[in-house]
Structure 1
Amino acid sequence: MSQQVQPSAEQFLALTLESDTAATVELFEQAGNWQERYRQIMLLGKSLPKLDDNLRVESAQVRGCESNAWLYHSEIDGKHYFIADSDARIVKGLIALLLIACNGKTSSEITAFSPDSYFTQLGLQGQLSPSRTNGLLALAKAIKLAAE
């Protein structure tokens, strides 16, 4: 029987994205069109570290994503931290947007988080394909479930 690999607390705490929700919304509001927003998503995706291959396991995969996406969760001192990755660059950028909004937050803050409102604020509502939107909502749901 193989033991499931789990990232260390240091790995969760080491993931600090260089932005907060308000700064991210402002950045996307300044983007004049969809191409500029798409570029920002891709740049955010590059800021996420790649998961080690030993962490890309089926038990960590997010169901409902068309692309492969993996999510890990840890609660440290009453706050929730996530590490996630995808094999698709745009999905990785969308994951980064979710992590900016949810990493280091309490259960009640994550429960109150509305991915629909957030992505509307970012100007992404209606810009993503239905399958990407479904995958994004599946990721947000997995984050909320982990934080309960």
Structure 2
Amino acid sequence: MTDLPQAAVEALDAFTQASGWEQRARLLMQWGERLEPLSESERSDANLVSGCESHVWLVGVPHAGRWHFRATSDARLIRGLLAVLLARVNGLDAGELAAVDMADWFSRLGLSRQLSPSRSNGMTAVLRRMRELTG
């Protein structure tokens, strides 16, 4: 898939213009603040993503064959990573979601070197859970 969702284009523009890790970290925090909130009932064990060191809750709803996800975490940096992942995947259908290369996405954003193995594993777990929900 060559066409990115509009939110992904905006993320790519913002993060590629950042001059270094400090600016990208600030951007991540700002993007994390934009996440659509989850209700207390949505922060349930059923929506908790396994495989993440931090608590991450994920809900997904299909709209006319395209998926819209909402997520949050108890960790600020993770909320930012979730926000840019959601920017990349929201609005995709199940087939398009299955083709998303998360490592490439974070690399294009200039964030892959700063992703610790545990954060990378956590984001992989989130994407895997999204694919389970759409399957």
The two structures have a TM-score, normalised by structure 1, of: 0.83
Moved over 2 A (4+): none
Q: Distance in 2 between matches of 1:84 and 1:111?
A: 18
The amino acid that maps onto 2:15 is F
Indicate the SS of the match to 1:54.
coil
SS at match of 2:107: helix
Structure 2 residue runs without a partner (length 5+): 1-5
Name the larger-Rg structure.
1
State the TM-score, normalizing by the size of structure 2. 0.91
Q: How far apart, CA to CA, are the structure 1 residues paired with 2:61 and 2:41?
A: 18
The answer as to 2:128 corresponding to 1:138 is: no
The within-5 A match list for 1:1-148 is 20-148=7-135
In structure 2, give the amino acid aligned to 1:67: S
Aligned letter for 1:73?
G
1:81, distance to aligned residue in structure 2 (A) = 1.0
Which sections of structure 1, spanning at least 5 residues, go unmatched? 1-18
Structure 2 distance, partners of 1:39, 1:79, is 30
Instruction: Indicate the percent of aligned positions where both proteins have the same amino acid.
Output: 36
Distance in 2 between residues matched to 1:102 and 1:49, nearest whole Å: 15
**Post-superposition CA distance 1:8-55 (Å, at most 9, x none):** xxxxxxxxxxx6212211211110001111111100000113322121
Measured on the aligned residues, the alpha-carbon RMSD in Å equals 1.2
State the aligned residue count.
130
CA distance in 1, matches of 2:98, 2:115: 24
Aligned partners of 1:74 and 1:104: how far apart in 2? 10
